[in-house]
């Protein structure tokens, strides 16, 4: 038997010949890094869409509908998470086709946004948020796609690889691309707004469309066929055979304490972060802070969200998933205190939102690891993951 760097299959096993080709360590990490890059582009597009659409809507309409685009984006995304996983099943469209479909939807939404700025129609901006919300639901699956490059059947057959140690690192690296998005998104918003002087914000939406094109090209270099093949071999059932599988997931949730902790960590950390970050812009507005300062605080928050991925995977591996989860919530609690006492202090604002992001990262990585470990086969894992992501879409 050879190591993961070369193979994960015992050549003397007669049944190995019927299984998909093994995934080497080099292939694993190359694809994880590429998925991290796609996550960077997805988060950059998300930031541009959400922030620019709100500002453009304020210019074109009243305050009462300025955030309607965000609402449409969020609702369509949450409603599509489970169908997205269904579509990307290897026996249907597969991951590559599913992800490319998501990018095409995003590009279509960006095109509607461009038309909205060209004709001054806020309805087109709101309509453009809908296909982009659909696309975001697919993008949430990137981190779990990355873990799929560590085959289920590797357990017990790899001499030099501890799967429980590899998974947190893979999850952390897969979301690390968001750190670059912390710069790309806000800075693009600032500098591309006036790229086409005759139409305010059109330049930002043109750059958004370019990001979607680059996103599609990058997806072509990822070896999705490998993980689809492994998923097919590891499946023990078919979605159509169990129409009540969502109820089954909640049944698992009632009895599986690790899964309960994973859901609480992923959904709870996300909900608290969103609540704090929704209040922060209002506080900054009351303090009459400039647009540049607001942009800096957002950049600090996004860096806090994703830069800890450089080490959070190792921390989860060393101190454990539950301890990492509690650490994350403790950091978020400290961040809330800092934001409460910040008043109009810019340094405290920046420290507070950065801590919010750091705390979220640990709850997300630790919680995602717990969610990933639930389920006895690839089908069960996809079901659990899709229900979990519905709460963070």
Give per-residue pLDDT as tens, 201-215.
Answer: 899 999 999 999 999
pLDDT confidence bin for 384, thresholds 50/70/90:
confident
Whether pLDDT at 306 is above 80: yes
The per-residue pLDDT for 51 is 78
Instruction: Give the rounded distance of the alpha carbon of 389 from its chain centre.
Output: 9
Task: For residue 131, give the nearest of 139, 119, 141 by alpha carbon.
Answer: 139
At 100-152, the pLDDT tens digits run 999 999 999 999 999 999 999 999 999 999 999 999 999 999 998 998 888 65
Beta carbons of 218 and 37 less than 8 angstroms apart: yes
Whether pLDDT at 14 is above 50: no
At 229-244, the pLDDT tens digits run 766 555 554 554 444 6
DSSP H helices in the chain: 25-60, 68-87, 94-119, 122-139, 142-147, 163-192, 202-219, 224-234, 245-255, 257-263, 269-286, 291-306, 312-319, 321-341, 346-373, 378-390
Q: Global pTM?
A: 0.81
pLDDT confidence bin for 70, thresholds 50/70/90:
confident
Can you tell me which residue has the tokens 């101190």?
Answer: 319
Can you tell me which residue has the tokens 């620019």?
Answer: 52
In three-state form (DSSP H/G/I as H, E/B as E, the rest C), the secondary structure along 361-375 is HHHHHHHHHHHHHCC
Q: CB-based burial of residue 244 (10 Å sphere; 0-12 exposed, 13-18 middle, 19+ buried)? A: exposed
The per-residue pLDDT for 58 is 79
The per-residue pLDDT for 62 is 67
The per-residue pLDDT for 281 is 66
Which of 137-146, 181-190, 191-200 tops mean pLDDT? 137-146
Whether pLDDT at 225 is above 90: no
Chain-wide mean pLDDT for the chain?
83
The per-residue pLDDT for 10 is 44
Tell me the C-alpha distance between 370 and 130, whole Å.
31
Whether pLDDT at 286 is above 90: no
């Amino acid at each position: 038997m050879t190591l993961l760097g070369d193979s994960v299959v015992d050549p003397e096993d007669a049944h190995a010949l019927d299984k998909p080709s093994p995934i080497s360590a080099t292939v694993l990490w190359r694809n994880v890094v590429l998925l991290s890059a796609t996550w960077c582009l997805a988060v950059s597009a998300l930031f541009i869409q959400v922030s620019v659409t709100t500002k453009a809507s304020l210019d074109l309409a009243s305050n009462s509908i300025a955030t309607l685009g965000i609402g449409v984006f969020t609702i369509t995304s949450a409603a599509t998470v489970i169908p997205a996983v269904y579509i990307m099943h290897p026996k249907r469209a597969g991951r590559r086709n599913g992800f490319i479909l998501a990018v095409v939807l995003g590009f279509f939404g960006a095109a509607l946004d461009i038309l909205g700025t060209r004709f001054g129609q806020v309805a087109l901006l709101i309509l453009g948020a809908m296909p982009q919300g659909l696309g975001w639901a697919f993008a949430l699956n990137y981190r779990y796609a990355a873990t799929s490059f560590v085959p289920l059947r590797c357990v017990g057959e790899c001499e030099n690889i501890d799967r429980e140690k590899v998974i947190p690192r893979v999850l952390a690296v897969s979301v690390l691309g968001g750190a670059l998005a912390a710069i790309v998104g806000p800075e693009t918003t600032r500098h591309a707004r006036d790229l086409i002087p005759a139409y305010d914000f059109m330049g930002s939406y043109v750059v958004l469309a370019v990001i979607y094109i680059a996103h599609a090209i990058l997806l072509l270099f990822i070896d999705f066929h490998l993980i689809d093949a492994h998923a097919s071999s590891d499946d023990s059932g078919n979605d159509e055979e169990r129409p009540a599988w969502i109820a089954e997931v909640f049944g698992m949730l009632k009895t599986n304490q690790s899964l309960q902790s994973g859901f609480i960590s992923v959904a709870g950390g996300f909900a608290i972060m969103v609540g704090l970050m929704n209040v922060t812009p209002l506080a900054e507005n009351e303090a009459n802070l400039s647009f540049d300062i607001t942009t800096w605080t957002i950049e600090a928050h996004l860096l806090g969200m994703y830069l800890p991925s450089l080490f959070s995977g190792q921390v989860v591996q060393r101190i454990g998933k539950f301890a990492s989860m509690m650490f994350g919530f403790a950091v978020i609690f400290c961040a809330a205190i800092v934001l409460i006492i910040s008043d109009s202090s810019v340094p405290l604002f920046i420290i507070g939102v950065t801590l919010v992001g750091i705390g979220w990262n640990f709850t997300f990585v630790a919680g995602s690891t717990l969610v990933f470990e639930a389920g006895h086969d690839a089908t069960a894992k996809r079901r659990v993951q899709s229900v979990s992501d519905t709460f963070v879409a």
